[in-house]
Amino acid sequence: MQRAAKCALRLDLSRAFCLSRSGTVVVMQKSLPPPRDEEEKAMLDSMLRVDHAGEYGANRIYAGQMAVLSRTRTGPLIQYMWDQEKMHLEKFNEILGEHRVRPTLLLPLWNIAGFALGMILTRIACLLAFEGTMSCTVAVEESISEHYNSQIQTLMEAEPERYTELLQVIKEFCDDEKKNRDTGLEHDAESVPGYLLLKTVIQVDCKAAIYILQRI
Amino acid sequence: MIFGIKEKSIILTNFDVLFAIATNIHVRLKTGFVLQVAVQGTVSLQCSNVRRGFHRAALLRLASDSKSDTSVPPPSYHEVHTAGESSSSSAQGESSEDAQPNTSFQDQSGEHGEDYETEEQLQARILTAALEFVPQHGWTVEAIAAAAETLGLSSASTGMFNNGAGDLVLHFVAQCNAQLAETLAEQNNQVQLGQAEAKKTAEFLKDAVETRLRMLIPYIDTWPQAMSILLLPHNIPDSLKHLSTMVDDIWYYAGDRSTDVNWYTRRAALTGIYNTTELVMVQDSSPDFEETWAFLDNRIKDVVNMANTAKQVQATGEAVVQGLMGAAITLKNLTGMNQRR
């Protein structure tokens, strides 16, 4: 009981301001309502933690892809998508800091794993068919849009009016990811033999990752 | 069984046998110290329920006297006549009524009093009062019992606290942390309004930890006992939670908004600093704990130094890597391997 009251107190007090490192004061707009109780805070925390880790991982996957593809013709396209993911990551960094959400402990692991995944899968796709270099992207984007969709569903089922801003953010990101996926599909990502295998591997990976991240 | 006890003291006896009947017991202490116990009968053969119900009854609800008249339950209440015959008959008869002493007691009084306090609030009040008796009795159930008596309750109300002394220590820790959070928020407010200067991180951390540790000074003699209570296995989850909340608060108000592994390293560092300083404090005999604050200062300087060194190492490492890459490319150029043929 005390903890919930303290939570509310902390979030209310931090409503109008946050102190940046240099000592200047920044006013931030809150994108989440202050949590009503422990349960809600835990749910929102785990959602935001997973999203943040997801964007971080996507960032690293694109970095891995760029390491392989930067001098090919898909390079600029991947760079564009990577920049979008960087924007998403920044937004989530903001939200996490604002709402005192703990980032996942596995971030260093994510760093390496994401980069390795991006690099290895792209090399494999390259070996199989040059056009299929986007297949990795498409598979990842599809998993991520599915994940965002399920989060949107959860929030809508709970209480759509309460989470309007968060829903907006997630919907926007979901649309961005879908767009990226469609772009990838336009570039014949599916023409890679073994595309289905690649896609399944990545989807299973993502689901496992989300499961772990929700807990750690 | 109807009780009318016209004494100034409340007699508590072991009700295992006789009061298998009682579930709802309302206690009103009138000005003439007449204690009337109205028993609403359902058979509950669970002694612990009964005992707890009676404990609850033995606690004075500190509603006003005027309220005590309205606290009579609605006409559904009736008096059970003899223990013997009602024990079996009322089993079947009133089994439809509430069988839980706790909830129905609260429900019925909840109907009537706006200023009825919850059990948690009452517990908090008792524990806060018990802090005054800690220097005398230590962090023990005796302190809680003494506090209960000063509040006009029976010393048997310590039965409410399943964890005994652990409850008292955890309550104190939570109270101190709440106070610290308030102080930090207030300071933050002042900085935001421009009424105060923002402190540097090291100074902020030092002041925050010092503020928090100073709250231990009134209890410093008995604090080792409290620390050992917090280390008991069943108390460890709660005490860790309090510690991590406090460290998170301090870093948040110090301006930390990191969302990477720094989040963890910073909090781990501050936890280490806080715990070691606390240990130094309990055996410090210098005037106003000067040695403790000096120790704290040094530890914080260490951590800041380490952070700076880490940054320098990283920068140096990056520079070295770039240098190596440059050398490799030069070599490739020299040997002609870089040419596309």
B314 lies in the same domain as B167: yes
* In-domain check, residue B109: no
Could you tell me which of A88, A201, A133, A118 has the C-alpha nearest to residue A209? A201
The answer to whether B161 touches B62, Cβ cutoff 8 Å, is no
Task: Measure Cα distances from B171 to B8, B130, B137, B165 in Å.
Answer: 32, 10, 17, 10
Backbone angles phi, psi at B216, to 5 degrees: -85, -15
B187 lies in the same domain as B305: yes
Q: Is the pLDDT of residue B329 over 70?
A: yes
- For residue range B306-326, list pLDDT tens digits in order: 889 999 999 999 999 999 999
The answer to whether A119 touches A67, Cβ cutoff 8 Å, is yes
B63 lies in the same domain as B171: no
B168 lies in the same domain as B273: yes
Task: Measure Cα distances from B339 to A69, B333, B336 in Å.
Answer: 20, 8, 6
**Which residue of A23, A92, A108 is in closest CB contact with B198?**
A23
* In-domain check, residue B155: no
B62 lies in the same domain as B181: no
Contact B261 A108 (CB under 8 A): yes
Cα–Cα–Cα angle for B268, A10, B125, rounded to 5 degrees: 100
B170 lies in the same domain as B287: yes
B169 lies in the same domain as B58: no
Cα–Cα–Cα angle for B203, B207, B209, rounded to 5 degrees: 120
Provide, as residue numbers in chain B, all residues whose Cβ is less than 8 Å from the Cβ of A105.
264
Provide, as residue numbers in chain B, all residues whose Cβ is less than 8 Å from the Cβ of A19.
188, 191, 198, 253-255
SS3 A159: coil
Q: Is the pLDDT of residue B209 over 80?
A: yes
**Which residue of A1, A19, A100 is in closest CB contact with B191?**
A19
Contact A17 B188 (CB under 8 A): yes
- For residue range A139-148, list pLDDT tens digits in order: 888 888 888 8
B279 lies in the same domain as B169: yes
Q: How is residue B25 written in tokens?
A: 């017991």
Q: What is the mean pLDDT of residues A183-203?
A: 76
Provide, as residue numbers in chain B, all residues whose Cβ is less than 8 Å from the Cβ of A59.
none
Contact B259 A103 (CB under 8 A): yes
Q: Is A190 annotated as a binding residue?
A: no
According to DSSP, residue A206 is labeled H
* In-domain check, residue B118: no
E-only strand ranges, A41-160: none
Cα–Cα–Cα angle for B191, B196, B202, rounded to 5 degrees: 80
Chain A / chain B CB contacts < 8 angstroms: 66
Q: How is residue B337 written in tokens?
A: 């391997």
Domain finish residue from B32, B49, B68: B68
Q: How far is B121 from B127, CA to CA, in rounded Å? A: 10
> Where residue A125 falls among pLDDT bands split at 50, 70, 90?
confident
Provide, as residue numbers in chain B, all residues whose Cβ is less than 8 Å from the Cβ of A1.
120
The nearest CA of chain A is from the CA of B65 a distance in Å of 29
Q: To 10 degrees, the CA torsion angle through A88, A89, A90, A94? A: 100
* In-domain check, residue B56: yes
SS3 A19: strand
Cα B193 to chain center, whole Å?
32
| Total domains present in chain B | 2
* In-domain check, residue B105: no
Q: Is the pLDDT of residue A172 over 70?
A: yes
The continuous run of DSSP H or E covering B38 comes out as strand B35-41
In a mutagenesis test of the B interface, which of A3, A7, A13, A52 is the best target, namely the one with the most B β-carbons within 10 Å?
A13
Task: Kindly list the residues of chain B whose beta carbon comes within 8 Å of any beta carbon in chain A.
Answer: 120, 174, 177-178, 181-182, 185, 188-189, 191-192, 197-201, 241, 245, 248-249, 252-261, 263-264
User: What is the span of the domain harbouring residue B41?
Assistant: 14-68
Identify the weakest region by mean pLDDT among A179-193, B262-276, B322-336.
A179-193
B63 lies in the same domain as B170: no
Q: What is the pLDDT of residue A25?
A: 41
Task: Kindly list the residues of chain A whose beta carbon comes within 8 Å of any beta carbon in chain B.
Answer: 1-3, 6, 9-10, 13-14, 16-21, 23-25, 52, 92-93, 96-97, 100, 102-103, 105, 107-108
* In-domain check, residue B321: yes
* In-domain check, residue B337: no
Enter the ipTM: 0.76
* In-domain check, residue B143: no
B168 lies in the same domain as B281: yes
Is the model more confident about A3 or about A171? A171
In a mutagenesis test of the B interface, which of A1, A2, A15 is the best target, namely the one with the most B β-carbons within 10 Å?
A2
Contact B192 A105 (CB under 8 A): no
B182 lies in the same domain as B48: no
The nearest CA of chain B is from the CA of A203 a distance in Å of 25
Cα–Cα–Cα angle for B282, B285, B286, rounded to 5 degrees: 125
Could you tell me which of A111, A143, A123 has the C-alpha nearest to residue A192? A123
- For residue range A6-64, list pLDDT tens digits in order: 444 444 444 434 444 444 444 445 667 776 677 888 888 888 888 898 888 888 988 88
Contact residues for B193 (Cβ-Cβ < 8 A; gap 6+): none
B298 lies in the same domain as B171: yes
